[in-house]
Structure 1
Amino acid sequence: MPQWYSTEALDLLYISLAVFSADRLVLRNDAIDGWSRNIELYIPVLELDKWKENCDLLEKMVSFLSGDYWKFNFRKRELTAREIAYKERIKKSKQAVKDYDRVCMFSGGLDSFVGAIDILEDNVGHTLFVSHYGGGKGTKEYQDLLKEKFIDGYGVEIRDFHQYYAKVVGGIEDTTRTRSFLFFTHAIAVASTLGKSVDLIIPENGLISLNIPLTFSRFGTSSTRTTHPFYLKLLQTLLYNINIPVRLKNPYQFYTKGEMLNNCKNQEFLKHNLANTMSCSHPDIGRRLKETKTRHCGYCLPCVIRQAAIKRAEFKDESYYYDNKFVQGKTAKTNLNSYRLGFERFNPKFAFMSIQKSGSIIENIDQFTQLYIRGMNEVKAYLEGL
């Protein structure tokens, strides 16, 4: 029988919507330093006592994620008439519900594609894949295409894929880093309806998770901390404190992207669909150039890490790139110079300190250090071959 969301998970989802909205509407250019903003939100919640008890933790977590200073004020609310109506409709539903054993985040990127392949190859229980997309092109179409490939190739059902749409109308701040929080909370809310303790799989390579800037120019708040170990630890603690039985797991925490590709459990399926994945940090570049087809820019850091991994795995790359030779414009050339300068300064001897640049790491330091060195060498090999 279908179940309603837990009140804690519903609160968390609404909090993430408020955070994402503020992140899109409050301009960084208006901040004193041009980046870090002071944002205060007033949010009604169902579980007032729990959020008061965990307010400091939430502020610390969101502030780390976005690079801003957040303050939350909570007040009590009850379910709205619409929420009560939905809850009653679900309670009375006779629809058969699939019993899922885990939830997996599915962005349409290369890492999430590998993660989904490995889960389906293991063929243990049932997995619910959760996706999020916003406005513009470059995300949903890749999710849809890969979904069809999985349905055809593995016999999964269309109901095994949930896609959620959330967009801030009129938002003009493009350096948003809290979209990942929104993505996570959609998956967590869905997981809460399963009525049991479940794993939330977050497939992402360890190098991008560490979020280590190649140069000081990469310290900007446009860099993502989506799966940084410190952030995941804070979020896991929050879930535990508010009694949401979801365990966050990234099985690729100590893998480079190239190692993820090399160890994927269905190499042929991966190679055949490689070009159907989207890794770019701004996949709308094709639309901005008045093209009808989306494509990777080729020069942002996620694009570079992607191409380095494909080279490492010795796969044929038929993905569509705008400028992966760094020759089309000022941004691409600036990025290339930044990457090269970063590698000139890179010293494996100090890697154990470098991994602390974007957030505190107090566990598995040796593993993260070696991962960082391997990841940097992977990207370096690609750039030296240009």
Structure 2
Amino acid sequence: MGEAIVRVDGSQTPIIVRINGQRPTFNLGTDALQAKALRELDPVLLDLMEIASTVFAADGAIARGGATRPDMGAGWYRQFDFEIPVRNPELWQRPDVTAALCEVVETLTEDSVRFRFTQSNADPILQPYLDLDPNGASFDADEVVLFSGGLDSFAGALELLATTSSRVILVTHRSAQKAIPRQVELGQYLAKRFPGRVLHVNILARRTDQEARDSTQRSRTLLFAAFGQAVAHAFGAGRVSFFENGIVSHNLPLSPQIVGTMATRTTHPLTLRTINRLMQVVLSEPVGIENKYQWLTKSEVVSRIEQYGAAKQIVRAVSCTSIREQNSLHTHCGACTQCFDRRFAILHAGLADYDPEEIYGTDILFGERTTHRAITMAVEWTSHALRLGDLDEQAFMTAFGH
């Protein structure tokens, strides 16, 4: 594609997003696949991936306010104006399509967004981000699993393979180098255990010049969903699945002190509904996207890993999103809510032997927390857990029902 122009909060100095090509600011592509795809990608899917990549790149380029409400200020909520070249501007400029796209991005990020689309000079067919081979496919998939390499997505893929005869494609977004080895290890484990039924597709999508200034990056869900939709069409899969426990998925507010998008909306039912609505208005044959673990707790998810004979793989699954703080010894920071969720779920499931204390940079139960952010997260997470424990069904709905 050509240059996408993104203006933030009315600034006259835009963010320029160039995907691949000359002087790229964002790389989008995949490793060479061993399997061949069923068909060439619909140009609309290529547009969808590039639009999602542009949103993701811009989302990470502009920092918000701090993680807690006193730091929020006017800088937390942003206004983005996107001008993006696409192959089919007539489609993307349709009011129902633009409205559906805005709804997805605004639901995920809580920002305000506007889109304008121009004609791209990109060849509508010969841009094979998925390394497609027009001669046919050697892997006929039933389902696509969006595979982060965390406990939930691993448990979901494992359960699907252990309880059905489905042929499954694991789609992984490769953005952080440190996460890749563990994602590969878990994919290889599943492929070896279920021979002939697993294909792991790794899609590279990351900035070329700098780390993200905003670490929340909630627009990543749209990017991940676009990849899942593209792979499903390329390999003939009939379903695309996220697997994320319901406590995280339903986005129960941790605290008034933890604002907006600090609480993930990755697989919130409203998020998935808006994404499916977008797919329905832009694609003639959309593949449904769902979260099959939305009614499970994290502990129940972890227990399924043991139930299906893979407890030894728990240590390989990485739940922490603080990538910069990870190293070969400490794969988890021990100070974020994802680490808290993981550790207490594993303890509750009686599987602590498979989750060594030393993988956490800060001991979850007894480690010292020295920063304001770390202290706030620990206090608010614990208070939230205690509050939930005291609620009956009526009180729960009063507190969290919408």
**Shorter-chain TM-score: what band?**
0.7 to 0.9
Q: 1:152 to 1:29 in 2, by over 3 A?
A: same
* Shift, 1:156, TM fit: 4.1
* Shift, 1:117, TM fit: 0.7
Match of 1:283 among 303, 323, 338: 323
Q: Is the 8 A contact 1:17 1:182 kept in 2?
A: yes
Task: Report what 1:297 is aligned to.
Answer: 333
Q: Determine which structure has the larger helix proportion and give its number.
A: 1
C-alpha distance in 2, partners of 1:9/1:118? 29
Is structure 2 residue 40 aligned with structure 1 residue 4?
yes
Task: Report what 1:112 is aligned to.
Answer: 153
Q: Is the 8 A contact 1:106 1:129 kept in 2?
A: yes
Letter in structure 2 aligned against 1:309: A
Q: Is the 8 A contact 1:59 1:70 kept in 2?
A: yes
Task: Report what 1:338 is aligned to.
Answer: 380
Task: Report what 1:142 is aligned to.
Answer: 182
Is structure 2 residue 255 aligned with structure 1 residue 255?
no
Match of 2:360 among 321, 333, 341: 321
Task: Report what 2:206 is aligned to.
Answer: 167
Task: Report what 1:56 is aligned to.
Answer: 99
* Shift, 1:124, TM fit: 1.8
Task: Report what 2:50 is aligned to.
Answer: 14
**Which range moves more in the overlay, 32-41 or 47-56?**
47-56
Task: Report what 1:200 is aligned to.
Answer: 240
* Shift, 1:186, TM fit: 1.2
Task: Report what 2:287 is aligned to.
Answer: 246
Q: Percent identity?
A: 27
* Shift, 1:299, TM fit: 2.7
Q: Is the 8 A contact 2:346 2:355 kept in 1?
A: no
Superposed counterparts of 1:90-105, under 5 Å: 90=132, 93-94=134-135, 96-105=137-146
Q: Is the 8 A contact 2:318 2:332 kept in 1?
A: yes
Q: 2:254 aligns to what SS in structure 1?
A: coil
Is structure 2 residue 109 aligned with structure 1 residue 72?
no
Task: Report what 2:400 is aligned to.
Answer: 355
String of CA shifts for 1:144-194, please: whole Å, max 9, x gaps.
111221233222477x00011211232322222112221221111111213
Task: Report what 1:370 is aligned to.
Answer: none
Task: Report what 2:219 is aligned to.
Answer: 178
* Shift, 1:78, TM fit: 5.4
Q: 1:57 to 1:300 in 2, by over 3 A?
A: same
String of CA shifts for 1:239-279, please: whole Å, max 9, x gaps.
11212421112211111111123345x63632111101001
C-alpha distance in 2, partners of 1:296/1:263? 22
Task: Report what 1:126 is aligned to.
Answer: 167
Letter in structure 1 aligned against 2:400: I
Q: Determine which structure has the larger strand proportion and give its number.
A: 2
C-alpha distance in 2, partners of 1:157/1:127? 6
C-alpha distance in 1, partners of 2:243/2:132? 31
Q: Which runs of 5+ in 2 are unaligned?
A: 1-36, 67-71
C-alpha distance in 1, partners of 2:350/2:65? 43
Q: 1:163 aligns to what SS in structure 2?
A: strand
* Shift, 1:5, TM fit: 1.1
Task: Report what 2:261 is aligned to.
Answer: 221
C-alpha distance in 2, partners of 1:107/1:312? 23
C-alpha distance in 2, partners of 1:274/1:135? 20
Q: 1:173 aligns to what SS in structure 2?
A: coil
C-alpha distance in 1, partners of 2:97/2:135? 37
String of CA shifts for 1:86-135, please: whole Å, max 9, x gaps.
59x956x4464311111111110000110111111124231111001213
C-alpha distance in 2, partners of 1:345/1:85? 52
Q: 1:32 to 1:214 in 2, by over 3 A?
A: closer
String of CA shifts for 1:56-96, please: whole Å, max 9, x gaps.
12112101101211111112335428x52659x956x4464
C-alpha distance in 2, partners of 1:85/1:317? 44
Letter in structure 1 aligned against 2:396: A
Q: 1:268 to 1:135 in 2, by over 3 A?
A: closer
Q: 1:116 to 1:181 in 2, by over 3 A?
A: same
Q: 1:90 to 1:254 in 2, by over 3 A?
A: closer
Is structure 2 residue 250 aligned with structure 1 residue 210?
yes
Q: 1:226 to 1:21 in 2, by over 3 A?
A: same
Q: 1:44 aligns to what SS in structure 2?
A: strand
Counting matched residue pairs gives 346
What is the root-mean-square deviation of aligned Cα atoms in Å? 2.6
